[in-house]
Each structure stands twice: as C-alpha cells, then as structure tokens.
A and B are shown apart, each in its own frame.
Chain A
Amino acid sequence: MNSKQKRKVQMSKWDWAFVICNTTFMVLFCIVTLYPVLNTLALSFNDGLDAVKGGIHLIPRKFSADAYRTVFNIQGIKQGAIVTVARTVLGTLLALAANALLAFVVSRKKFLFRSSLSLFWVITMYANGGMIPGLVLLKALGLTNSFWVYIVPGLVGAFNILVLRTYMEGLPDSYEESAQLDGAGYITIFVKIISPLCKPVYATIALFMAVGHWNSWFDAMLYNRTKPEYTTLQYELQKLLANVMQQSGNASSSGKTASSSKVTPVTVRSAATIATMLPIICLYPFLQRYFVTGLTIGGVKE
C-alpha cells in the first residue's frame, strides 16, 4: 500500500504524458473499430435517396426502415437465412460431437494406437490436397449441389481435435478409473463423465464452428452456385455487395435493388450487412468469456 502510494506521488511528467497518450490511443482504437459498424447501422436506417447525398455518420438523418423491408423481401436472402441457420445449428452440433468423440479416443492414455492415430490426424494439418482435388472428390461423392457439402467435408479437423485432446488430457485420470471399476464402458465414460467436465472447451469450439458456418460463403459459391435453394446468407450478401461495387463506378446507381425510390443500394447493402451481423453481435457478450479461456488452452500449446 505504502509503496503504491509512493509510486503514485512519484509519477513524473513523462508518466503522465504516457498515460494521456495511451488513453487517447485506446479511445481512438475503439473509435476506429466501432465507427464503421455504427455508421453502417445509421445508413441502414436512413432514407435511401437522402443517404446518397452522403454526410451521414452515427445518426440517421431521415429515418426509414424501408431498406430492411426490401432486404427481407429478397428471395435469396430469405432462403439464405434458412439454409444458414440450418447449417450453423446442424453443422456445429454434428462437428462438435464428432471431434469430441475422436479427441476422447485419442486422449485415452491406455489406447493402443494412440500415437499412430494422432500422427494420422496431424499430417492432415500440413498436407493439403488443394481446391481442385477437393472439388473433384466432392463431385465424385455426389456432395456438390447438395446441402450436405456444408456439413460433411469439414466435420472433423485436426486443429479442433488437438485443442479438445489437450483439454481432456488435463483432466484427472481418477474419474475414468473409478468409473471403470464400477463397470462403465467407454461410451458411458465419454457421455457421463468426460463431456460434462469439458463444457468450457466445448463451448469455445462450438462458438468457433458456429461463427465459421455463419460467415462462410465460399463453399456456397464453389459447390452450390447453380442451386439457389442451398445459397447462404453471406453469399447473398456478397452478390449484393458485388452488385453495388460494380455500380459505384456509374454515375447513376439505380440497379434492380433500387427500383423503389425510397431504397438505394447504399441503404439496402447496409441493412443486409447489419442483418447478417446481428446474431453474432447479440451473442457476443455472452460468449466472449469462453473464447479467451479456450484460446489460451489450445493456442500455444502444441
């Protein structure tokens, strides 16, 4: 206490200068991070024609929710939302179950093929077939032009297994041993003992998977380009943005999305951006405590 007080008294001119500079930097950092998001939000709620004039920063000048009405009436966006929710929920649950089960097997210290099985998966981290062989394979398996191309190919991944394995190996062996003495099989041990203890790491991994599913668009473009019924939200957003980016060169940007006078590409795109961001931003405060722990568990180790 005493030394702390002493140090406070001793804070020199330079220390004060540093604190002020550092605080200013942090404030600027937050502004640079948040401004674009808030600006998009303001634009999305502004009247379309008015927004084209520019000069809107954090508050809409002429309030209107028409852009959102337009966005939610675009057929592709509606379908994309359904597919994206489906793939996020299903994909995350299945992948979490699969990765956890495999990590459980690899983390059993007595398992006979433990090291060779680990090696088998570690290799997949470095030797990558590439885009074209992957595409040929998925075509051959009949997974292209289907919903399952979002779920099956990425089901198990070495990185997730490593993170989960590291966590499971950190759990005390005594749980498993006593359960085995009581006659529990491996499946029971996995479901009833290991999994409940792994909740934090499961949450972290699930969060990463869910965000990955929610944000992905490339697979939709590569594998399901001709199937509008399997489009995803981000892919629809990409098409919308690409449309605008092309038009931004032209003097009069009145594309098909701007057929109504009250909405323009600027506001429609902003509304679509906010709509795809919304679920992540809403869940973010609740989930953020998980990924910090998860990252330090799996990050540097191995």
Chain B
Amino acid sequence: MSLMGTRSPALKEKNTKAELKRQRVLLIIAALFVVYGIVFYYLPLFGWIMAFQNYKIKDGIFGSEFVGLRWFKFLFSDQTFIRVIRNTLCMGVINLVATTITAIGFAILLNEVRNTFGKKLVQTISYLPHFLSWIVVTGIVHDALSINGVVNELFVNLHIFDEPVSFFSHKEYFWPIVALSNVWKETGWNAIIYLATITSIDPALYEAAAMDGAGRWQKIKHITLPGLRSTIIILLIMNIGNVINAGFEVQYLLTNGFIKPVSETIDIYVLTYGVGKMNYSLGTAAGIFKTFVSLVLIVLFNFIAKKTGDERLF
C-alpha cells in the first residue's frame, strides 16, 4: 500500500495500460458478452417505450404515436386485470408458503430417519418429480383428479366422499390444486438445501440438549428450526420476487372455461391480450407492472430482514 502511495500518477497510468494490454483477451471476451447482454437483456428494457405508445407493428417503436399512461389507466380500470393480479398474488403466496413449509417439514422428518439406505432411497425418489416437465405433471394431476381418477376412487372407497367430485369444475378447488401440484413437484427438491443446512448444525448442540432431557420435539423446536432460520430467510427473499411470476405453466395447462376467473394469471393475460390479440402496448404495460411489483417485494422483504437483524441479499 505504501509503495503504491509513492508512485507518480504517470507511472500508475502506465501500469494500468500495461495491465490492460496483459488482460487483452479477458477484455475482448468480456466486451463480446456485454454486447450480447445489451442486446438480449437491456434492449428489451428499451422496449418498455411501447407501453407508453399506441404501438403498431408497421410503424415500429420509432414511428408509433405516444399516448402517455393510457394503457396503465386502462389496466387498472379493467376488472379482468384486477382479478388477474389477485389470482397471481394469491396463488404466488399460497404456493410459496405451501412449498416452503412442506420442504422444511420433509427435511426435518427425513433427517430423523436413522436408516441410511432408507434415507437415501426416499430422498432420491423425492426429487424425481422436479425433473419432469409441467406438461407431464399437469397431465398426471389432471388424470389423478378426474372423475374416475385415483383420488376420487380412493376417497369414495374410504367413504370420505359420497360420490366422485369433479375437481376441475369448481372454482374453489383450483388454487389448492395448483398448490398441491407445486408441492408434489418440488417438495423433495426444495428440501435438499434445508437438509444440507440441518446436517451442518453442530451435533454437540443436540447432545447437550439430550443431556438436559430435551425430547425430540424440543430439539427440533429449539435447535433445528433456529438453525434453519437464516436459510429460510435467504430463500424467502430470493423467491419473494417470484410471487408475481408464480405459475404460468400450471395455470395455463390446467385451466378450462369454468375456472378461468380464478386461474388466469398476469402472464396468461399478457399472452391472451398482448400476443394473441397483438396488443403489444397493453402486454408491455402489464409486464412493466409485474417487474415493478417483483422489485418492490424484493426490496421490501430485504428491508424487513435487515430490520429484524437477519441475513439479507444486499
């Protein structure tokens, strides 16, 4: 450091130049990727202008007429869009809560399994569904829940239902179905990270607790869950922004005419009106709203985590 201080600015500049020359290859690679990044990630942000225009494909971004906030005003006075926001946020929150709780619960229970082979086997089976596509998973869900599907068969035989229920023609079942589909697909996968955290908790803590006469439940409550706290917070912050993205594929693939009012999400709205009806301006405005909500949620959650003295993303 002191050596640096004695160097003249001219020498420093010369050093930087020499370093630049030495790093020429790195610079070229970085520059190429920056060009790629600008084109594929930053240029679409420039496309946000369309939301403030009456965009016509033949006129393009530079020729279309500006209309100010017209599309945003339209969106927020559109009953469909309001309902779509509600659907998206509700399903997003339900999914996030359901998948987080089941993953933590599964990780804790799996950690209690003492048989190493059994534990490995269950875990291997548990993350298989993560690798199946939503097309396959929704196909399976649709099958299982159909009138003569396995769920109805089971529940009728167990006399829980008097007669088979048509799950896809009742609005009130749709959100739970989406949550359960997510739980089925992701529980084992999401549990990996929690299980890794549990394994890294100091075993001495458990031994000490056992000495003091703590039971299984007390050990979970006072050692495991506090040990998981920071992981849970970090993952929640990382996923909270996705609440607004939550689910496009499941809803799109499982929906039908009956349940459309509760199944339509922002992405489906954009697909229907933006792409389908070629109203690019409206679709872009809805997309901007989505990005905005997602950023607000991330910053807000990060702020709360900071206040409560927890780990945070930034």
Binding site for B on A (CB under 8 A): 7, 14-15, 18, 22-23, 25-26, 29-30, 32-37, 39-40, 54, 57, 98, 101-102, 105, 108, 110-113, 117, 120-121, 124, 126-137, 141, 152-153, 155-156, 185-187, 211, 214-218, 222, 234, 237-238, 241, 245, 248, 269, 273, 276-277, 280-281, 284-285, 288, 292, 295-296, 299-300
Known: A54-B148, A124-B41. A131 touches B135 (CB 8 A): no
Most chain A beta-carbon contacts within 10 A, residue among B40, B271, B295: B40
Give the Cβ gap from B26 to chain A, nearest Cβ, in Å. Answer: 5
> Chain A residues near B143 (CB, 8 Å)?
36, 39-40
> Chain B residues near A185 (CB, 8 Å)?
25
Mind listing 30 A-B residue pairs with CB under 8 Å? A7-B210, A14-B215, A22-B109, A26-B113, A33-B125, A33-B128, A36-B144, A54-B148, A57-B150, A105-B26, A112-B16, A127-B291, A130-B290, A131-B274, A131-B287, A132-B287, A133-B43, A133-B46, A133-B47, A135-B275, A137-B47, A141-B39, A152-B40, A156-B40, A186-B26, A241-B138, A241-B142, A296-B192, A300-B197, A300-B231
How many A-B Cβ pairs are below 8 Å?
218
Q: Please tell me if the beta carbons of B16 and A129 are within 8 angstroms of each other in the complex.
A: no
B95 contacts A by Cβ under 8 Å: no
Q: Mark B134-157, 1 if CB is under 8 A from A, else 0.
A: 111011101110101010000000
Residue of A nearest to B105 (CB): A25
Give the Cβ gap from B181 to chain A, nearest Cβ, in Å. Answer: 11
- State the majority secondary structure of interface residues on B: helix
Known: A33-B129, A105-B29, A127-B45. A218 touches B249 (CB 8 A): yes
> Chain A residues near B66 (CB, 8 Å)?
none
Q: Please tell me if the beta carbons of A40 and B140 are within 8 angstroms of each other in the complex.
A: yes
Binds A, one of B3-11, B30-38, B85-93, B170-178: B30-38
In angstroms, Cα B124 to Cα A187, docked, is 38
B97 contacts A by Cβ under 8 Å: no
Q: Please tell me if the beta carbons of A111 and B26 are within 8 angstroms of each other in the complex.
A: yes
Binding site for A on B (CB under 8 A): 16, 19-20, 23, 25-27, 29-30, 33-34, 36-37, 39-48, 50, 61, 106, 109-110, 112-113, 118, 121-122, 124-129, 131-136, 138-140, 142-144, 146, 148, 150, 184, 188, 192-193, 196-197, 210, 215-216, 231, 234-235, 241, 248-249, 253, 256, 267, 270-271, 274-275, 280, 283-284, 286-288, 290-291, 294-295, 298
